[in-house]
Amino acid sequence: MSMAMDINKIRNETLYCEDKIFLNSAGSSLSPTVVNEAVRHFLSEEETRGGYQVEEDRQHDINDFYHQAAILLNCKAENIAFAHDATDAYSKALSSIPFEAGDVIITSNDDYSSNQIQFLSLQNRYGIILHRINNLENGDIDLDHCKLLVEQHRPKLVAITHIPTNSGKVQDVKNIGELCADQQIIYLVDACQSVGQLSVDVQEIKCDFLSATGRKFLRGPRGTGLLYVSDRILNLGYAPLFIDGRGATWTAANQYKPADTALRFQMWEAPYAMLIGLAKAINYANQIGIKKIEGRNKQIMNHLRSKLAEIKEIKMYDRGSQLSNILTFRHIGLSVADIQKILDHHQVYCSISTREWGVIDFDKKGVESVIRLSPHYFNTIEEMDRVAQILSDVLSN
């Protein structure tokens, strides 16, 4: 039987979590002390010896980033590339696919806004055709429609966001992965909000690419991310369009040789202090155990959802059979800005999600903005009670 999580220890290792209720891990979370210390230490080493010397001296720790990410995602270190953020990882993956005019991309209504912009950009420049999978009445992705679209259009790519930024649903990336694997279709998963929040296993999902960011539920530094690249993609020889001297070697005047591993998707330069910080953050999650983190997250979130459901003026907007640690809501009588002011006043940290981050979803819901609360395992049940109390006190006045 697995041991319970030591919340006191975790909170002691999360400086400044006591003077506020931090509910913005979907934005940029609080890092464990070990992460911040590692970054500061690395920067001071660079200050003393210069970046190149430190990079050489700390190779072992730098390599640990790839090992930790591989443990977390259930792959080999060779399948991992460091990225500057999730979008950097994602666009490198997209740029490696040899699209031709008329090629089809299938995505969901809930895919991240920047991904949608990139598909539209591909459509404008190369004549790519974009199809979106319908949602069922309950908000879930319609798997039958997905199958139909795949059979009708033989897409070059299926691209699905695991957890959207603007609502708490979890999309069924596993069943879509089965379908893509059966049909040998390239499958790209945006796991920016799910990696670090719940168990994400690339073997189970059967994806070819998976992108994630460091600063959100992984609790790493800003300006970090990662890309998983499958062996199949590496063996196919796919490489980013704008590959550089890290991803390839210039072998003759008119020739270059791409790297054998996912380093093919990485740039020569990297902020190594931040990379080391991300390695520590992933190691921290691995030490606790991602299944435990997922369990605790569900417990906290079920509690918060049920507490807010008791407040009749509050309307939650998250739909789907599986919900995540992103909760979105509005109040019937107060504006989103007013609610945020009240939460700010009580040191409850959260964010506002607006229409441009999920045009299709927001238009369907008929709202322009919602408050987004995103607790993580270091939060407590008492904090969830407190937030519900703040909202019900203010609203009943």
Ligand X SMILES: Cc1ncc(COP(=O)(O)O)c(C=O)c1O
List contacts with ligand X (CB under 6 A): 85-87, 112, 114, 161, 164-165, 190, 192-193, 213, 225
Compute the least distance from the CB of residue 85 to ligand X, in Å: 3
Contact 369, 336 (CB under 8 A): yes
C-beta nearest to ligand X: residue: 165
Both structure tokens of 113: 């806004």
Measured in whole angstroms, how far is the alpha carbon of residue 48 from the centre of its chain? 35
User: Between 27 and 289, whose beta carbon lies closer to ligand X?
Assistant: 27
User: Between 369 and 388, whose beta carbon lies closer to ligand X?
Assistant: 369
Compute the least distance from the CB of residue 88 to ligand X, in Å: 7
What letter does residue 214 receive in the DSSP assignment? S
Both structure tokens of 209: 């690419």
User: Between 164 and 271, whose beta carbon lies closer to ligand X?
Assistant: 164
Q: How far are the Cα atoms of 26, 70, 108, 240, 307 from residue 345, in angstroms, in the given order? A: 21, 41, 37, 46, 20
User: Between 224 and 379, whose beta carbon lies closer to ligand X?
Assistant: 224
Rounded Cα–Cα distance for residues 305 and 246 (Å) = 46
Compute the least distance from the CB of residue 347 to ligand X, in Å: 23
Query: φ, ψ for residue 249 (rounded to 5)?
Result: -110, 135
Both structure tokens of 41: 């230490």
What letter does residue 21 receive in the DSSP assignment? E
Long-range contacts of 328-332 (CB under 8 A, 24+ apart): 328/166, 328/167, 328/168, 328/353, 328/370, 328/371, 328/372, 328/373, 329/370, 329/371, 329/373, 330/367, 330/369, 330/370, 330/371, 331/391, 331/395
Compute the least distance from the CB of residue 182 to ligand X, in Å: 26
Query: φ, ψ for residue 5 (rounded to 5)?
Result: -75, 140
User: Between 222 and 303, whose beta carbon lies closer to ligand X?
Assistant: 222
Straight-line distance from the first to the last Cα atom of the chain, in angstroms, rounded to the nearest whole number? 47
User: Between 114 and 354, whose beta carbon lies closer to ligand X?
Assistant: 114
Compute the least distance from the CB of residue 160 to ligand X, in Å: 11
User: Between 83 and 149, whose beta carbon lies closer to ligand X?
Assistant: 83
User: Between 177 and 225, whose beta carbon lies closer to ligand X?
Assistant: 225
272-288 vs 33-49: helix axis angle to the nearest 10?
Answer: 150
Compute the least distance from the CB of residue 161 to ligand X, in Å: 5
Segment (H or E) for 385 = helix 381-396
Compute the least distance from the CB of residue 13 to ligand X, in Å: 24
Contact 311, 152 (CB under 8 A): no
Compute the least distance from the CB of residue 378 to ligand X, in Å: 20
User: Between 164 and 221, whose beta carbon lies closer to ligand X?
Assistant: 164
Contact 328, 317 (CB under 8 A): yes
Geometric angle at alpha carbon 214, from 20 and 73, rounded to 5°: 120
Rounded Cα–Cα distance for residues 111 and 103 (Å) = 19
Compute the least distance from the CB of residue 162 to ligand X, in Å: 8
User: Between 227 and 348, whose beta carbon lies closer to ligand X?
Assistant: 227
